[in-house]
């Protein structure tokens, strides 16, 4: 007689932590257990994040202008905004880079309509980054400029299911030739809050930030770190900024699907570099 023992992985979320968060005074955001993460283990959840991205030696650009008090591409160009789902792969770096590239081609009328470009091609083919494991944001921007990406229709996303980068494809999924679309450049505009605001008038902005335990309990409101350890790092897309009840915030699009946060978006406190959100951010140029 054989006895097979299995080790059950415990859920990442627990009610003790949730109750502690609910009892913190002056919270600007609502803690709960997001539907997107229900029943997920710590290992599975951390698989969606990346190690701390290395800083590049790319010189920062300080943009100067007169941006409005509030601005949001969700309102200015809703037809260009699309929430995606990276699945069980730490490919946030590719989703944020390719997503902002797609946004900005649509915003600047390079494409006649919104076009989904291929995160999978970048995950599989960018040899300077590491697929589902880790990446440096400046390197994925360089990949967009030097190599480019095809459309998602050509090379569709698979790594969210497999958890693997996969081989770099030589043809589209339907065996037709791959056509690559490139950016015309990029700038790290994270020199100041004002510089980011000015950059946002030209398009959406890729950014990275540090993820603490409490972020994974976010379900709405203006997030600011309150408690918990660092569990990884993440890359997202800043799409706007505003202020509510005296609290300034960034509008940010995530890659956790529309049933996470505020329909796939979240707000993070602005002007304090909370979670390093104002340390490294890239504005992708398109023509």
pLDDT at 56: 64
> Strand, helix or coil at 43?
helix
Residue in 80, 92, 190, 281 annotated catalytic: 92
Structure tokens at 238: 């800043």
Residue 1 reports pLDDT greater than 50? no
Backbone φ/ψ region at 254: left (φ over 0), alpha (ψ -120 to 50), beta? beta
Are residues 146 and 98 in contact, defined by beta-carbon separation less than 8 angstroms? no
> Strand, helix or coil at 85?
strand
Give residue-wise pLDDT tens across range 199-253: 999 999 999 999 999 999 999 999 999 999 999 999 999 999 999 999 999 999 9
Let me know if 23 is a catalytic residue. no
Q: What is the mean pLDDT of residues 189-193?
A: 97
User: DSSP 3-state helix, strand, coil percentages of the chain (rounded to 5)?
Assistant: 25, 25, 50
**pTM recorded for the entire structure:** 0.95
Give residue-wise pLDDT tens across range 39-93: 899 899 989 999 866 566 788 999 999 999 999 999 999 999 999 999 999 999 9
Let me know if 172 is a catalytic residue. no
pLDDT at 58: 83
Beta pairing class for 218-223 and 265-269: parallel
Domains of the chain: 33-52+61-285 (3.90.70.10)
Give residue-wise pLDDT tens across range 117-174: 999 999 999 998 888 988 889 999 999 999 999 999 999 999 999 999 999 999 999 9
Q: 138 φ, ψ to 5°?
A: -65, -30
Largest CA distance in the chain: 76
Q: What is the CA radius of gyration of the chain?
A: 19
Q: Which residues contact 245 (CB under 8 A, 6 or more apart)?
A: none
Whole-angstrom distance between the N-terminal and C-terminal Cα of the chain?
69
CA dist 31 and 29 (Å) reads 7
Are residues 207 and 280 in contact, defined by beta-carbon separation less than 8 angstroms? yes
Residue in 89, 132, 254, 281 annotated catalytic: 254
Q: CA 74 → CA 12, 115, 127, 208, 240, distances in Å?
A: 31, 16, 33, 20, 8
Residue in 152, 234, 275, 281 annotated catalytic: 234
Let me know if 234 is a catalytic residue. yes
Neighbours of 251 (CB within 10 A): 24
Are residues 74 and 100 in contact, defined by beta-carbon separation less than 8 angstroms? no
pLDDT at 66: 97
CA dist 232 and 197 (Å) reads 26
Structure tokens at 128: 């300077």
Q: Strands, E, within 166-286: which ranges?
A: 185-188, 205-212, 218-223, 230-244, 247-253, 265-269, 281-285
Give residue-wise pLDDT tens across range 174-190: 999 999 999 999 999 99
Are residues 100 and 203 in contact, defined by beta-carbon separation less than 8 angstroms? yes
Q: 172 φ, ψ to 5°?
A: -65, 170
Structure tokens at 190: 């994270």
pLDDT at 54: 58
pLDDT at 89: 96
pLDDT at 7: 46
């Amino acid at each position: 007689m054989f006895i097979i023992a299995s080790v059950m992985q415990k859920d990442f979320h627990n009610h003790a932590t949730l109750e502690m968060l609910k009892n913190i005074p002056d919270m600007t955001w609502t803690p709960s257990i997001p539907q997107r993460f229900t029943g997920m283990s710590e290992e599975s959840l951390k698989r969606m994040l990346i190690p701390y991205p290395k800083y590049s030696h790319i010189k920062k650009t300080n943009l100067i202008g007169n941006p409005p008090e509030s601005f949001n591409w969700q309102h200015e160009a809703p037809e260009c905004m699309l929430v995606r789902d990276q699945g069980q792969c730490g490919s946030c770096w590719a989703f944020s880079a390719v997503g902002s590239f797609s946004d900005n081609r649509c915003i600047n009328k390079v494409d006649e309509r919104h076009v989904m470009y291929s995160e999978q091609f970048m995950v599989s083919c960018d040899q300077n980054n590491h697929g589902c494991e880790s990446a440096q944001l400046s390197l994925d921007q360089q990949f967009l400029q030097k190599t480019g990406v095809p459309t998602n229709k050509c090379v569709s996303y698979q790594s969210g299911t497999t958890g693997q980068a996969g081989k770099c494809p030589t043809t589209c999924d339907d065996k037709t030739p791959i056509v690559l679309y490139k950016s015309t450049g990029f700038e790290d505009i994270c020199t100041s809050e004002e510089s980011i605001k000015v950059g946002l008038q030209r398009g959406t902005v890729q950014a990275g930030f540090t993820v603490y335990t409490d972020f994974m309990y976010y379900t709405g409101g203006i997030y600011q770190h309150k408690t918990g350890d660092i569990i990884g790092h993440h890359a997202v897309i800043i799409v706007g900024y505003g202020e509510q009840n005296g609290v300034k915030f960034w509008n940010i699009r995530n890659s956790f699907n529309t049933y996470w946060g505020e329909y796939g978006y979240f707000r993070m406190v602005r002007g304090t570099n909370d979670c390093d959100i104002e340390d490294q951010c890239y504005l992708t140029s398109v023509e």
